């Protein structure tokens, strides 16, 4: 069982070109729990995750991994922290030219694990956790979309991280395959004590797995709480999102009666 660690961001701000993406985000991701971050496409969920692992640096604010402030660390110091954080990327991003075994072994080799017997044992262990023992010598192109996600999950936990960040783990999967992924996230959380941060716009999955839920809107946290609190929210913008409705501003943008810089048809 790994030691649990919490993560925190405080007043996080990030601007790209002329767009403020994160506009002062303060969040605590409790140790050993599953926090689900929801929000419309483009609201900054992936940008937030990338700050948590030091792939992006904030313009302002702080990022904490347990008692270590990580946003100002050098790349070398970050390397030590990154070893303890698993990352499931939005595009599960397996290496097409490597077998399942070598895909999963990749982070181990990167972190200087060279003992082939140990490497083999670790790969087989995590592949077994995701129920795909028999695929070890296959190429990613021979696997289904759901299987590829599971291999990517195995790779995300092979270094026995204390925190795992999941970016859209169920997007593009049918309900049954999504449920397999939900169950794996729950299993990693409960049996390995991993602190989990899951970014998604899949509400079904969110309600299945979340201990704690967060809703981002226009670069800010507009709602935070349990699934029950989300279901009974009186916040109109949150309510709209949770009912799957478009906001008035989005509707206006799509219908073309709001100037967002896009060219309108004459
Ligand atoms: N490296 C970057 N450079 C410039 N702009 C970026 C960069 N990364 C993200 N953005 C912009 O930041 C905004 C938020 O992007 P982000 O990928 O975090 O959205 P998201 O909430 O994850 O959306 P989705 O649900 O579609 O994955 C977008 O407008 C995107 O174009
Ligand atoms: Mg994203």
- Which H/E stretch holds residue 217? strand 212-217
Report the domain count for the chain.
1
Residue with tokens 């948590």: 52
Flag whether 132 is in a domain. Answer: no
What's the gap in Å between 153 CA and the centre of ligand 1? 22
* Ligand 1, atom 27, residue with closest C-alpha: 41
Could you give the strand order of the β-sheet that contains 212-217, starting from the edge strand earlier in sequence?
85-88, 163-167, 195-200, 34-38, 212-217, 220-225
Flag whether 98 is in a domain. Answer: no
Lowest mean pLDDT among 213-217, 249-253, 258-262: 258-262
Whether residue 117 is predicted with pLDDT greater than 80 in this model: the reply is: yes
Flag whether 239 is in a domain. Answer: yes
Flag whether 153 is in a domain. Answer: no
Distance of CA 143 to the CA centre of its chain: 22
Flag whether 11 is in a domain. Answer: yes
- Residue 226: strand, helix, or coil: coil
Flag whether 112 is in a domain. Answer: no
Q: What is the predicted pLDDT for the residue at 75?
A: 93
pLDDT band for position 201 (cuts 50, 70, 90): confident
Instruction: Give the separation between CA 22 and CA 12, rounded to whole angstroms.
Output: 6
Flag whether 102 is in a domain. Answer: no
* Ligand 1, atom 29, residue with closest C-alpha: 42
Residues with CB under 6 A from ligand 1: 16, 19, 21, 39, 41-47, 90, 201
List the beta bridge partners of residue 27: 9
| 159: its two tokens | 């270094």
Cβ 51 vs Cβ 63: under 8 Å = yes
Residue span of the structural domain in which 251 resides = 7-84+161-255
- Position with higher pLDDT, 192 vs 104: 104
What's the gap in Å between 166 CA and the centre of ligand 2? 10
Ligand 1 pocket test target in 16, 41, 169, 262 with most atoms within 8 Å of CB: 16
| 33: its two tokens | 């729990």
Q: What is the predicted pLDDT for the residue at 224?
A: 96
Neighbours of 233 (CB within 10 A): 17
Q: What is the predicted pLDDT for the residue at 248?
A: 67
Flag whether 118 is in a domain. Answer: no
Which CATH number fits the domain that encloses residue 71?
3.40.50.300
């Amino acid at each position: 069982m790994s030691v649990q660690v919490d993560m925190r961001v405080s007043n996080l701000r990030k601007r790209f070109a002329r767009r403020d993406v994160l506009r002062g985000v303060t969040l605590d991701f409790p140790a050993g729990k599953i926090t689900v971050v929801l929000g419309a496409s483009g609201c900054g969920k992936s940008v937030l995750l990338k700050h948590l692992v030091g792939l992006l640096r904030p313009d302002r604010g702080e990022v904490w991994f347990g008692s270590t402030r990580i946003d100002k660390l050098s790349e070398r110091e970050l390397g030590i922290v990154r070893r303890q954080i698993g990352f499931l990327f939005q595009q599960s991003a397996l290496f097409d030219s490597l077998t399942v075994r070598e895909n999963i072994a990749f982070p181990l080799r990167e972190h200087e694990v060279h003992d082939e017997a140990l490497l083999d044992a670790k790969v087989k262990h995590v592949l077994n956790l995701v129920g795909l023992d028999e695929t070890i010598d296959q190429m990613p192109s021979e696997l289904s979309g759901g299987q590829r996600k599971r291999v990517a999950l195995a790779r995300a936990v092979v270094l026995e991280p204390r925190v795992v960040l999941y970016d859209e783990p169920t997007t593009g999967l049918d309900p049954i395959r999504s449920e397999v992924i939900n169950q794996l996230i729950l299993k990693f959380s409960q049996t390995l004590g991993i602190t989990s941060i899951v970014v998604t716009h899949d509400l079904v999955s969110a309600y299945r797995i979340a201990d704690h839920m967060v809703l981002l809107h226009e670069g800010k946290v507009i709602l935070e709480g349990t699934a029950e609190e989300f279901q009974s929210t009186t916040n109109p913008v949150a309510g709209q999102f949770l009912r799957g409705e478009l906001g008035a501003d989005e509707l206006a943008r799509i219908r073309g009666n709001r100037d967002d810089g896009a060219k309108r048809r004459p």
